[in-house]
Chain A
């Protein structure tokens, strides 16, 4: 029962979403809207799960960690609770809230992402090797497209942007479209497996 009932629920809700799209009966559409609203509220609760996990992990690190672990984990929990309290009490558009959002969160995450610029350069040097025809096509396509993407490419040879655009809009389009349609069919198949209860891994845990 503990597995069958949720599976039945997912099936009912999923079918409602599909059916309400094709039949415009008022009660069906209203029911779909209500259930979607429920989905929004449940998803909002899910946003807190990450915090609970973080508190569990970092509270343990404060107690049992080595070296400066207590400081890092303490800073994490402190900043999390601090910003949460500030946002809940004063609102997320309050000046102080936006200040910390802009001063810590934005530069922190933006720089972490920016660092991947270093890693892609390192990978370009160490891993991008012409070992066979496939790799040669990949490399040639990448090189021409890169030169087509930036103004200096046009200065080197006026045809780089033209060929780059062609590569992007003809062969790349065909490749992407094949993958898009393939992934679409695959997605529908795996979606149906979920709705029909064949695939239950999202329920996790034991089968009790």
Chain B
């Protein structure tokens, strides 16, 4: 294999090295690449926002005469009143709708998926060490976060056990995070060594 002759690969390689150079020292190339990529990111969001508005708001209105979409289109425009102090309060209406839908959907979903199903799956036969650990550990963590009663006597032991269980979870989180961070770096290095420099396959 040999070094890439593709212009896109070269630009991507310069961007990659530019960002990586920050580890050594803050420098103009890093700042330039960072700003350009943030710009592209924001521009991309604009494009996707426009497509959503066009396909789901404007097209139904113009081609099918679906007048009800005027409501969200108007509400969407109201979001931008936040930039004028005098009429900023109008932006609360679209926000209220977004928050209302999001909260309503999350509440109804959480009850079933995050509480009922999870509690049901914790009701295990206490016939193995693992099952006992799962049940006691879950109860311990819940007890730890239960602040309405003072943690004394047996409750204190349960809550301390819950804390230890959480420490195992945080350890697992750290261990997993290392894997993730290294995977990201390997991805970039592989790009540099394989796609750009061509020194590996």
Direct contact of A and B (CB under 8 A): yes
CB neighbours of A208 from chain B (8 A):
89
Q: Quick one: given A47-B46, A48-B46, A120-B181, are A10 and B100 in contact (CB under 8 Å)?
A: yes
B50-82 interface bits toward A, Cβ cutoff 8 Å, 1 = contact, 0 = none: 111100110000000000110111011101101
CB neighbours of B170 from chain A (8 A):
138, 141, 175
Give the complex CA separation of A129 and B104 in angstroms. Answer: 43
Which one, A2, A83, A188, contacts B39 given CB within 8 A?
A: A83
CB neighbours of A152 from chain B (8 A):
none
Which one, B8, B41, B77, B144, contacts A102 given CB within 8 A?
A: B8
Q: Quick one: given A73-B35, A82-B43, are A175 and B168 in contact (CB under 8 Å)?
A: yes
Give the complex CA separation of A154 and B130 in angstroms. Answer: 23
CB pair B174 A178 closer than 8 Å: no
CB distance from A50 to the nearest CB of B (A): 5
CB pair A10 B103 closer than 8 Å: yes
Which one, A42, A113, A180, contacts B98 given CB within 8 A?
A: A42
CB pair B104 A54 closer than 8 Å: no
CB neighbours of B175 from chain A (8 A):
141-146, 149
CB neighbours of B172 from chain A (8 A):
141-142, 145, 167-168, 172
- Report the nearest B residue to A113, measured CB to CB: B184
- Report the nearest A residue to B105, measured CB to CB: A17
Verify if A187 is at the interface (C-beta below 8 Å from B). yes
Which residues of chain B from 1 to 43 have any CB-CB distance to chain A below 8 Å in the complex?
A: 8-9, 11-13, 15-16, 19-20, 22-23, 28, 31-43
CB pair A84 B43 closer than 8 Å: yes
CB pair A49 B22 closer than 8 Å: no
- Report the nearest A residue to B92, measured CB to CB: A6
Verify if A156 is at the interface (C-beta below 8 Å from B). no
CB distance from A29 to the nearest CB of B (A): 13
Which one, B43, B108, B165, contacts A80 given CB within 8 A?
A: B43
CB pair A81 B142 closer than 8 Å: no
Chain B interface residue count, CB cutoff 8 Å, equals 113
Verify if B148 is at the interface (C-beta below 8 Å from A). no
CB neighbours of B40 from chain A (8 A):
79-80, 83, 100-101, 104-105, 108
CB distance from B107 to the nearest CB of A (A): 5
Q: Quick one: given A45-B77, A146-B175, A188-B110, are A137 and B164 in contact (CB under 8 Å)?
A: yes
CB pair A111 B20 closer than 8 Å: yes
CB pair A9 B53 closer than 8 Å: no
CB pair B46 A13 closer than 8 Å: no
CB neighbours of A117 from chain B (8 A):
181-182, 184-185
Most B-side CB within 10 Å, residue of A87, A175, A176:
A175
CB neighbours of B185 from chain A (8 A):
114-115, 117-118
Q: Quick one: given A40-B56, A99-B8, A114-B188, are A84 and B100 in contact (CB under 8 Å)?
A: no
CB neighbours of A99 from chain B (8 A):
8
Most B-side CB within 10 Å, residue of A11, A37, A45, A183:
A45
CB distance from B190 to the nearest CB of A (A): 11
CB pair B68 A54 closer than 8 Å: no
CB neighbours of A13 from chain B (8 A):
96-97, 100-101, 104
Give the complex CA separation of A101 and B42 in angstroms. Answer: 12
Verify if A194 is at the interface (C-beta below 8 Å from B). yes
- Interfacial residues, chain A to chain B (CB-CB below 8 A): 2-3, 5-7, 9-18, 21-22, 34-52, 54, 68, 71-73, 75-84, 87-88, 92, 97, 99-118, 120, 124, 128, 133-135, 137-146, 149-150, 166-168, 170-185, 187-188, 191-192, 194-195, 202-205, 208
User: Could you list 11 A-B pairs, sorted by A, with CB under 8 Å?
Assistant: A3-B92, A17-B108, A38-B75, A40-B56, A42-B98, A80-B40, A82-B43, A83-B40, A142-B172, A178-B162, A181-B142
